[in-house]
C-alpha cells in the first residue's frame, strides 16, 4: 500500500482496493442492514422452466449459473407448476382496485348516516317545542285573566 504525504493535510491513501493507484473508487464497506429475499415472477419461472427442460444435459448447469439459480429452485417451481400454482401467481398482488360504484356507494352511505343524525336532532327539537307549547298552554289556562298591574297604579 502506497501512502503519500501532502503539505499540512496529513496522510492520503492513493492505493485503491483493486491495487491500481488513483483509478477506481473504493466499494462501500457498509453491508446492507438486512438481506433481501429474491422474488421471481410467475412468467420468469415458467420461462426458465421451459428453457431448462429444453436444454441438453450439459447446458442445464450453465442456465442455472447464468441466472444465479439453484437446482432446488427448479424442483420447487416444477412442483408449483404441476399443482397449478404458477398460473395463479400471474395475478397481480395486493388488493383489487376499488370499483367506482363501491366508492359512490360508500359516499352515499356516509351521507345517509349524517342525514339520519340531523333528522334525529330535528325530531328531538320538534318534540321539545311541542311539549313546551303544551306546558305554556296549560299554564295560561290555569292563570286568572287579570291584567298585570301597571307601574303607575297606586298600591293598596
With left for phi above 0 and alpha for psi between -120 and 50, is residue 19 left, alpha or beta? left
Helix (H, G, I), strand (E, B) or coil at 10: strand
Cell of 124: 328531538
Q: What are the two backbone dihedrals, phi and then psi, of residue 20, each rounded to the nearest 5 degrees?
A: -90, 145
CA separation for the pair 107, 65 (Å, rounded):
55
Distances, alpha carbon 97 to alpha carbons 17, 53, 94, 102, 110, in Å = 50, 37, 9, 10, 21
Beta-bridged to residue 10, according to DSSP, are: 6
What pLDDT was estimated at residue 34?
78
**For the chain, percent of residues with pLDDT exceeding 90:** 34
The span from the CA of 98 to the CA of 101, in Å, is: 8
Would you state the cell numbers that stand for residue 31, as one nine-digit string? 453491508
Start-end of H helices in 8-151: 42-54, 60-67, 71-83, 85-89, 100-142
The residue among 40, 38, 64 whose CA lies nearest residue 51 is 64
Ranges of beta strands (E only) in the chain are 3-6, 10-13
7-48: per-residue pLDDT in tens?
455 555 544 444 555 455 676 777 777 777 888 888 898 899
Q: Is 42 helix (H, G, I), strand (E, B) or coil?
A: helix
Q: What is the pTM of this model?
A: 0.37
Residue 156 confidence class, pLDDT cut points 50, 70, 90: low
Amino acid at each position: 500500500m502506497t501512502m503519500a504525504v501532502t503539505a499540512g493535510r496529513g496522510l492520503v491513501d492513493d492505493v485503491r482496493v483493486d491495487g491500481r493507484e488513483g483509478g477506481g473508487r473504493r466499494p462501500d464497506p457498509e453491508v446492507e442492514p438486512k438481506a433481501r429475499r429474491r422474488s421471481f415472477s410467475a412468467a420468469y419461472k415458467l420461462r426458465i422452466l421451459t428453457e431448462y427442460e429444453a436444454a441438453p444435459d450439459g447446458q442445464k448447469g450453465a442456465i442455472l449459473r447464468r441466472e444465479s439459480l439453484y437446482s432446488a429452485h427448479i424442483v420447487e417451481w416444477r412442483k408449483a407448476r404441476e399443482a397449478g400454482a404458477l398460473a395463479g401467481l400471474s395475478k397481480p398482488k395486493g388488493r383489487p382496485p376499488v370499483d367506482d360504484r363501491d366508492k359512490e356507494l360508500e359516499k352515499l352511505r356516509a351521507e345517509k348516516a349524517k342525514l339520519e343524525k340531523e333528522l334525529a336532532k330535528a325530531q328531538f327539537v320538534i318534540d321539545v317545542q311541542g311539549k313546551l307549547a303544551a306546558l305554556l298552554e296549560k299554564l295560561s289556562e290555569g292563570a286568572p285573566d287579570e291584567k298585570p298591574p301597571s307601574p303607575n297604579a297606586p298600591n293598596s
